[in-house]
Amino acid sequence: MTNLSIDNAFNLEVAAKRVITIKAPEDTLSLRELKNDKYLVIGSATNMIMNEVYEGTIIKVSMNNIDQSSDGITSVGAGLSWDKLIGYCLENKLFGIENLTLIPGLVGAAPVQNIGAYGVEVSSLIESVTCYNFATQQIEILTKAECKFSYRQSIFQAKQYLILSVQFRFNTLFDPDLSYPSLVQFLEQENINSDAISPRQLSSCIQAIRESKLPSPNVTPNVGSIFKNPIVESGSIALDFLEGHRWDASEGQIKLSAARLLETVMPSINIPPSLGFYEKHSLVLINRGGAVFIEIIKLLKDIQDEIRSLYGIELEIEPEILGF
């Protein structure tokens, strides 16, 4: 059987034995054939680093409908691009999503990692998620509580579910969150009155900030931040070198800047010519051309080992790593 090429944001040469595309809920009947076969659910693979050949079935959802109900719920197909949902909301006066502008990927990926940016997490807007349960072979609707959302986490990371659509309850009044430090700084620099900012203006501001720091995967292959910001117990380590690069997380805990930690060890790390870190954001690993899976994994392990050795801090890889 000829392997099927799989597009991915890191532009690795990846192939799979079989691909199933779900175009409507009834298409999930074909998933019953999988039984105990190996499978993988992917969207546009913007937060995924994959091995060269996936020895199993790739499942993709192409449902891209947007349906609004009279009770204020907006149901969105998992296959719709996140950018298109942002545009739809701005056009139809559905508020609360503006801070999540320009996050790459599809709607179905948003609940998986509980995507967040500039002070807003997508879980704050989600009412429920419609999905296929591989264990029961049934379509189910999970409430927000059942999704078990937390920082960059959800029940969907256990891979028991295939997300078909997401039900949002957007705000009907525009009450923006403008508290994030880099957003505050940008508004001040651009002399934008935060009391009079419009939804479109806020979305444009977020886009400008992201474009100034983060490369587009369409131009520079990447999967966004390569490590999560670690959360540690207050007083557990000396933090003087992280002044201005740490934040209160919860009672007795502090969130540290993974980017700053990375910058401190970078001179001692051997980076292959095919890889590099984006000049405007030290957490963004990029494919300079010809990168292969095994050297990516080695580089990430070297960085984790060095930071563990120096600071006793465990760095967690943010994108999903498949095939290792």
Q: What sign for the dihedral angle of Cα 9, 10, 11, 12?
A: negative
263 is catalytic: no
Q: Out of 98, 121, 306, 318, pick the active-site residue.
A: 318
- Any residues with CB less than 8 A from the CB of 62 and at least 6 apart, and which? 21, 22, 23, 79
Task: Tell me how far apart the alpha carbons of residues 99 and 186 are, in angstroms, rounded to a whole number.
Answer: 13
Task: Tell me how far apart the alpha carbons of residues 21 and 41 are, in angstroms, rounded to a whole number.
Answer: 10
Residue 95 in contact with residue 170, Cβ under 8 Å? yes
Task: Tell me how far apart the alpha carbons of residues 43 and 62 are, in angstroms, rounded to a whole number.
Answer: 9
DSSP letter, residue 291 = -
CB atoms under 10 Å from CB of 22, counted, come to 23
Q: Out of 44, 123, 128, 225, pick the active-site residue.
A: 225
Question: Kind of pairing, strands 74-77 and 66-68?
Answer: antiparallel
Question: Kind of pairing, strands 48-50 and 320-322?
Answer: parallel
* Element at 116 (helix H, strand E): strand 116-117
152 is catalytic: yes
Token pair 């959302």: residue: 149
204 is catalytic: no
Strand partners, 322: 50
CB atoms under 10 Å from CB of 183, counted, come to 21
Residue 64 in contact with residue 77, Cβ under 8 Å? yes
* Element at 246 (helix H, strand E): strand 246-250
Task: Tell me how far apart the alpha carbons of residues 133 and 44 are, in angstroms, rounded to a whole number.
Answer: 21
Task: Tell me how far apart the alpha carbons of residues 265 and 268 are, in angstroms, rounded to a whole number.
Answer: 6
Q: Out of 152, 169, 246, 260, pick the active-site residue.
A: 152
Strand partners, 247: 255
Catalytic residues: 152, 225, 318
